[in-house]
Structure 1
């Protein structure tokens, strides 16, 4: 089912990103390379821009100084011959403006220097189509009084024949001269456009962007190829490992070359060979062990039958024996019964180990099975002085199961609870049942010795005992819970245990309502409602 709110394309991309080391290596390399290239490009552009502007400033200052010096020379040559200040000012401005037209810059001849005098007040001579706002206010303030040559950056605005205003970056240089006819100081403003530098900077910028894009593509390609050389053997190792995990133990990696990856492949193949050899040894040992258990169990039946016949004769005639011999005959009968149960359990375990156990599923009511098992174990419960109580939900708890195996599981759980009941407390053993649309469950709660932390994961091991000092009053063999767990797995169910020292234990069996359906929850809680610690033990 698709995740809500995530488009399929994005989900596939995210999956590819999570699973592909090659893609992440390429992406991280590209990001780092882009950061480095951006830093280097910014430095180069800044250096180029500063160099171009510095060279241009030197050139415009020299040009402004030359134009001002030429104006001074003309004024000195005409000194004393011209007394009309307006005409002398206009002629001087026309000469400088003409020079600017030929050399590509604009000129503004301002009003006499005085506090607050501005070009916008009227009276200046300037290049045709030039907007006087191109001269910054700060520069005009600088020349309110007699001051040395100064310059600043500005935006040169001119008007076209169509009446449009064109703005371009530029440099404005201010220089003062004294007009001999009236003795006033006038300021020349020389405005030099930076269009050539702007074009040069744009060309350099485009070249850097093109080179950066080409370099990133080249880095991506190189990184992809290098990462592929490293990732491909890893992918092959993953595929071979998956085949080994599926049971194809003969799979090996192909070794080419003598580099680190080739040595890794060699080591991997050696590991696979060792694992294959050890697994085959374990399989052979397991096969021999299963065969041994099966053969011994079968072979012991014949002498056990003979011993049983002799034991029955002795047990029947024990009334004629002396007390010691009569007691020996009774103990022999009890141990023979336990020996027969042990042989039956060993045969059942060998069938599970050999994979020969077969499930005969039918509709089973766990309530009926629980009452039947409680009635069968009542004598043992009375002997231990405990009472077993069935708490049914008031409706059938149905499941598709093998009734013989389910009855054996419940009997093992109840006899185990009776075996570990604390008779001094006078507590009763509770058998709880529950079901829903997907699962049916039965739980056996006792108040006996309990389980220490971690023991709930060991209680189903073969021949394991929670209290080694406690006698098996029920005649158990130590295989009951192991067989119960195997029976549960055969049904596709859960058999779980909870316990705390001093609080007793609870075992819970959960079966699917329909055979083969997966289990996702249980109708009964694993931790009893009367437990002091609500945190469940790790279950099996």
Structure 2
């Protein structure tokens, strides 16, 4: 009958979308809702990530290019301005020298000649927006800050750097430097500062023969305004360019992302069982060819699934029909077997033993038919729950009582361990009593078969506010690597050569798994070679609730204290 097992797709674990996970709840209390939505959009949108990355990289490139252009423009403006002011300063100095050369040195004293030297240049500076300071004479150690020097009104001596003054402590050629133009308002007493260029040029005074220094102070206000205008133009162009880059990137990526999103939606519909869904093919590019390949894959998948569904349906129908049709001849054989079994005392020993074996196998055959019918109901989706509130402790005690004969024959002591302590509560759950009792009986019977030399089976109960659990522990051979994933398969045996002492059909754990899934619970297995195994049944205390944890540990306490290669299997979760 193993060949009649229908092909079935595995059921994946599902989480209630209306109830967020504990981790999500913890994060939601710390991060604002707007930030969470933005982060979720960022994680899920390839288009947003590509557009943002492109805009950021473009911003870095544009900023670098803008800085380079600004620096070159500033250097060009300053260099050009420096050349102009130096030429203008040299021209004014030459004119002053010519004026001094035309005058007789005995006609003026030194002080009057200094004023005659500086004042025409100061008046020219006021007309052409530059300042003048007369310093010197060379070698006297006199500084502009000491006072008494001829200078443009409101122009402070601090406008000339000390380094430039030090250069002209002796006779030197014309030199210039950048500085700050410091002006003071005599009415308000306020001081203003602006960038400028200071040019120093020397001239010899005929009256005393000493060399004096003329300092020309040219402000850079016009160049500063020009540079600000260029900077604003570059910034405006950069913003406009970034907006255009963002828009172009968004549109370009949309052309690629839109077909991908459509493929995702169609794939989700296929996964939901809508196998007729297909992608719309447009054009002949790579995306169109991808859509064609996707549609071909979906068509082949639909064909294969329909074939499997048809095969599964035929197998289910065959198993159901065979099980029903065998009931009538089985009833007849059962009646004949009962007659022979009742009269076995009149038979010779060989015939009497045959009658006993016939009765045993008829019992097993009848149980097998019942299990096959139950499996066919699960496969057809016809199984329903008859829910009521029951105490799992009562179920456990009933199962232990019904399996006492088998346990005594095997020399196994089966004990029920109930919750203890001040927080202990009755393990009451809203379940189908018949199905849950069948699950527990299958687990206990299986544990008795594999109890091992210790001859002990422990049935432990536990519960909390959301779930109730029953764990059945044996101390037999345990589960070898990989067997924990197979124990719930139909007709599976850990050792095919080993006889079923309890008369099992090989479908008990499979039916138990289906009963557990019907309740929305978990049926899980743990095992370690040589240390036994434990099966844990976890059920929600209220029908329809989603399980999140179990009140009992899957790994027994005695095994958890001894490290080893645990073998865990999840039957229904």
TM-score bin, normalised by smaller chain:
over 0.9
Mean CA deviation greater in 359-368 or 284-293: 359-368
| Equivalent residue in structure 2 for 1:490, among 518, 531, 545 | 518
Match of 2:363 in 1: 337
Matches within 5 A, 1:204-353: 204-353=230-379
- What's 2:497 paired with? 469
Could you state the TM-score of these two structures normalised by the residue count of structure 2? 0.90
- What's the CA shift for 1:72? 2.1
**In structure 1, the residue corresponding to 2:244 is in which secondary structure?**
helix
Counterpart pick for 1:453 among 481, 489, 503: 481
Q: Please name the residue that 2:14 is paired with.
A: none
Give the alignment of 1:14-413 within 5 angstroms.
Answer: 14-114=39-139, 116-160=141-185, 162-163=187-188, 164-393=190-419, 396-413=426-443
Structure 1: distance between partners of 2:465 and 2:251: 56
Query: Displacement, 1:216?
Result: 0.8
**Contact kept? 1:433, 1:442, Cα under 8 Å:** yes
Q: Aligned with 1:537: secondary structure?
A: strand
Give secondary structure in 2 for the equivalent of 1:253.
coil
> Does the CA-based 8 Å contact 2:490-2:507 persist in structure 1?
yes
The one of 510, 519, 522 equivalent to 2:550 is 522
5+ residue gaps, structure 1 = none
Could you tell me whether the CA contact under 8 Å between 1:450 and 1:502 is conserved in 2? yes
1:248: how far off? 1.5
2:482 touches 2:567 (CA, 8 Å); kept in 1? Answer: no
Cα RMSD after superposing both structures: 1.9
Give me the whole-angstrom Cα distance separating, in 1, the residues matched to 2:71 and 2:85.
21
Contact 1:116–1:141 (CA under 8 A) maintained in structure 2: no
Contact 1:453 1:537 in 2 (8 A): no
Which is worse superposed, 36-45 or 100-109?
A: 100-109
Report deviation, 1:538.
Answer: 4.5
1:446-475 deviation line (CA, Å, top 9, x unaligned):
001111233222211111222333221001
1:434 aligns with 2:462: yes
Matched pairs, number = 538
Alignment gaps of 5+ in structure 2: 1-19
- The verdict on how the C-alpha distance between 1:439 and 1:80 changes in structure 2, with shifts beyond 3 A counting, is closer
2:539 matched to 1:511? yes
**Shift of residue 231, structure 1, vs aligned partner:** 1.4
Is contact 1:107–1:188 with CA below 8 Å preserved after alignment? Answer: yes
CA distance in 1, matches of 2:538, 2:412: 25
2:558 is paired with a residue whose SS is: coil
Q: What per-residue deviation string (whole Å, max 9, x for no partner) do you get for residues 398-420 of structure 1?
A: 11111111111111001100111
- Mean Cα deviation higher: 521-530 or 69-78: 69-78
Counterparts of 2:465 and 2:474, CA distance in 1: 28
The higher relative CO (CA closer than 8 Å, separation ≥ 6) is in 2
Q: Could you tell me how far 1:220 is from its partner in structure 2?
A: 1.1
Q: Secondary structure at the match of 2:557?
A: coil
Give the ranges of 4+ consecutive aligned residues of structure 1 lying more than 4 Å apart after TM superposition: none
Q: CA offsets, 1:367-397, max 9 Å, x none?
A: 1111111111111111111111112236642
| Alignment TM-score, normalising by the size of structure 1 | 0.95
| 1:128-172 residue CA offsets vs partner (Å, 9 max, x unmatched) | 221111111121122122222221111112234743433221100
Q: Tell me if structure 1 keeps the 8 A contact 2:524–2:554.
A: yes
